Structure 1
Amino acid sequence: MSLEGAVGRRPTIDRAELERLVEAGMSVRELAAHFGVSESGVLQAKRAAGLAKPQLDHGRALPWTLSRTHAQSGPATNLRNLSAAAQGRPVAPERLNTALRWARRLVEQGLDVAYDPVEGFSEVPAAPTGSHVAEVLDRAVKAVEAG
């Protein structure tokens, strides 16, 4: 008895073909259907082949564990946008300008942000040793000016 296509054998994704199809603009969903794998399998293959954009790490800009209710708040969004700019990722000009204006206002007024999981973000006097917002702003401005 012959088994056509070995049972339990994992489908393979040809790297050269994957690269060609990614360059042609094929979506992850389309790639998954083409190769007969899950979308997760395509994403893993793209990472292994160096075809995936590196993921951003906002841990320096948002060092807190945010509750769901605060994750999309103005301060969180502004800090994420500044972080993305600092990491060289393009940010829509209106979003970047909003984040820059917000951060510059706080720094000019000697303020910083604090985070509480229940209360959310608040503006507080900046510590004499420096401001978290000032550091995030500085990294973003340097990256934007360099880029």
Structure 2
Amino acid sequence: MGRRPTIDRAELARLVAEGLSVQELAARFGVSESGVLQAKRAAGLAKAMLDHGRALPWKLSREHTQSGPATNLRNLSAAAQGKPPAPERLNTALRWAQRLVDAGLDVTYDPAEGFREVPASPGGSHVADVLADARRALETR
């Protein structure tokens, strides 16, 4: 069994700064694309991943991951984390959430049925909370 290829962090940083793709880096270092991504994370060169767990606290079935509510909640979450999506996507999410809040509605999720609009509970609304987080972040930009 041969020795695993190593990726020089300084060389990796230089090539990433030059704009080489993950595929190009993998070929250059003789490793898989996954190996390049791991090396970039270890060297602090990878973009931080957004965490949408607060906005989407449910385990979504594959067929629901790209649904309107899931997409809108993810876009609001991205805005709340300082990385808003394209303006048209953000506006769609903001309008959707505001419509629900104004109507006293919230969303719930069931893996078999998907998302449903339901009356907001007296204690608050999940959509209202996510919307408020997004609006706060957008105001400070």
Output the aligned Cα RMSD: 1.0
Instruction: Give CA deviations for 1:81-121 in whole Å, capped at 9, x if unaligned.
Output: 11111111131100000000000111111110011111111
Q: After TM superposition, where is structure 1 displaced by more than 6 Å over at least 4 residues in a row?
A: none
Give 1:98's match in structure 2, choosing from 92, 101, 106: 92
Per the alignment, residue 22 of structure 1 pairs with 16
For 1:68 and 1:13, how far apart are their aligned partners in 2? 35
Structure 2 gap ranges (5+) = none
Residue 127 of structure 1 deviates from its aligned partner by 0.5
Residue 69 of structure 1 deviates from its aligned partner by 1.4
For 2:113 and 2:6, how far apart are their aligned partners in 1? 49
Per the alignment, residue 3 of structure 1 pairs with none
* Amino acid corresponding to residue 70 of structure 1 in structure 2: H
Output aligned runs, 1:44-59, within 5 Å: 44-59=38-53
Q: Give the share of equivalent positions with the same residue, in percent.
A: 79
Per the alignment, residue 115 of structure 2 pairs with 121
Give 1:37's match in structure 2, choosing from 20, 25, 31: 31
Give TM-score scaled by structure 1 length.
0.92
Per the alignment, residue 128 of structure 2 pairs with 134
Q: 3-state SS of the aligned residue for 2:69?
A: helix
Per the alignment, residue 80 of structure 1 pairs with 74
Give 1:13's match in structure 2, choosing from 7, 12, 18: 7
Give TM-score scaled by structure 2 length.
0.96
Conserved 8 A contact 2:76-2:84: no
Aligned residue pairs total: 141
